[in-house]
């Protein structure tokens, strides 16, 4: 049975009382409670992720994954937007980033953790896509990835959705269909290669989009949570691998581990390397 596409909600379980409690808790706690980036820890069991670049679709995604898999992740209590700022109140999972002291673990410990991640990713990727499969979030709406240029100015990093993978690839190439005349021969050859590779066919798979060691929590040798689902959605099947390999400087060691829990896709990785070289975060121009 195909996974359903539901209307994108404006809020989740956001009663007046829960909204008021959340706003008051943030106002009081943000001065003295610990936080990690956009996540404020309200208590040992409760946290809130909030900001102007957050989106209720992340909460919808977490509910979707909870309903379709056994992957451990935070339970969502409520989500809503107010004055352009989105708040997601959720369970706080006790655990350490899986990469903390990674090489201080035994070989057996590392292998056990990687096998758990591999099984979770396989379960996630086995979710059947909607009948009208498109590159979109779980509700068929827009996506977010800080590594990609936003589609419209002031769009707070949102882009899509796309009716077809070819439309997504055209967006990644910033609309380029033929080689720019001002490109040098080497550039023209690589861009030609990219355009031809983009014409190949991939299935649509559910994708977390940022399987960094900083987004996987463990207690001892057990994986207890996958967090930060803001980049998740339906993407071409290679997207999970290429985004996981695109690590930040804090996570450089993790690149060597990705091939142990995801199927290596060297051809697609090379394709993304070319795409990033010419159409990445730097504004397009010759």
pLDDT per residue rounded down to tens, the chain (286 residues): 344 455 678 899 999 999 999 999 999 999 999 998 899 999 999 999 999 989 999 999 999 999 999 999 999 999 999 999 999 999 999 999 998 889 999 999 999 999 999 999 999 999 999 988 899 999 999 999 987 765 555 556 789 999 999 999 999 998 888 766 666 777 788 999 999 999 999 999 999 999 999 999 999 999 999 999 999 999 999 999 999 998 877 788 999 999 999 999 999 999 999 999 888 753 433 3
Sorted by where each begins, the domain ranges of the chain are 16-91
**How much is the pLDDT for 150?**
58
Q: In DSSP terms, which residues pair with 46 in a beta bridge?
A: 91
Exposure pattern of 174-210 as b/e (b: 16+ CB <10 Å)? eebeeeeeebeeeeeebbeebbebbeeeeebbbbbbb
Give the strand pairing for 204-207 and 158-159: unpaired
**How much is the pLDDT for 140?**
93
Integer Rg of the chain from CA: 20
Q: What is the pTM of this model?
A: 0.91
Topology of the domain comprising 16-91: Phosphorylase Kinase; domain 1 (3.30.200)
**How much is the pLDDT for 46?**
96
**How much is the pLDDT for 132?**
85
């Amino acid at each position: 049975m195909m996974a359903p596409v539901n209307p994108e909600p404006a809020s989740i379980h956001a009663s007046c009382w829960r909204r008021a409690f959340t706003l008051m808790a943030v106002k009081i706690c943000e001065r003295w409670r610990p936080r990690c980036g956009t996540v404020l820890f309200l208590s040992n069991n409760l946290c809130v992720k909030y900001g102007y670049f957050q989106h209720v679709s992340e909460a919808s995604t977490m509910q979707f994954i909870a309903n379709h898999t056994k992957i451990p992740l935070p339970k969502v209590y409520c989500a809503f937007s107010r004055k352009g700022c989105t708040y997601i109140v959720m369970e706080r999972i006790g655990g350490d980033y899986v990469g903390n002291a990674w090489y201080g673990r035994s070989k057996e410990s590392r292998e056990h953790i990687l096998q758990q991640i591999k099984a979770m990713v396989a379960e996630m990727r086995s979710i059947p896509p909607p009948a009208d499969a498109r590159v979109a979030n779980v509700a068929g709406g827009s996506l977010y990835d800080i590594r990609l240029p936003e589609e419209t100015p002031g769009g707070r990093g949102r882009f899509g959705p796309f009716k077809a993978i070819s439309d997504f690839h055209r967006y990644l190439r910033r609309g380029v269909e033929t080689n720019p005349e001002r490109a040098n021969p080497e550039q023209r050859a690589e861009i030609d290669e990219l355009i031809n590779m983009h014409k190949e066919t991939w299935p649509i798979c559910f994708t977390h989009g940022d399987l960094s060691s900083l987004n996987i929590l463990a207690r001892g040798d057990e994986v207890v949570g996958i967090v930060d689902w803001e980049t998740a959605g339906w993407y071409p099947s290679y997207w999970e691998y290429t985004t996981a390999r695109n690590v930040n400087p804090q996570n450089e060691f993790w690149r060597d581990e990705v091939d142990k829990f995801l199927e290596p896709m060297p051809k697609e990785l090379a394709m993304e390397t070319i795409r990033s070289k010419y159409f990445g975060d730097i504004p397009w121009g010759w």
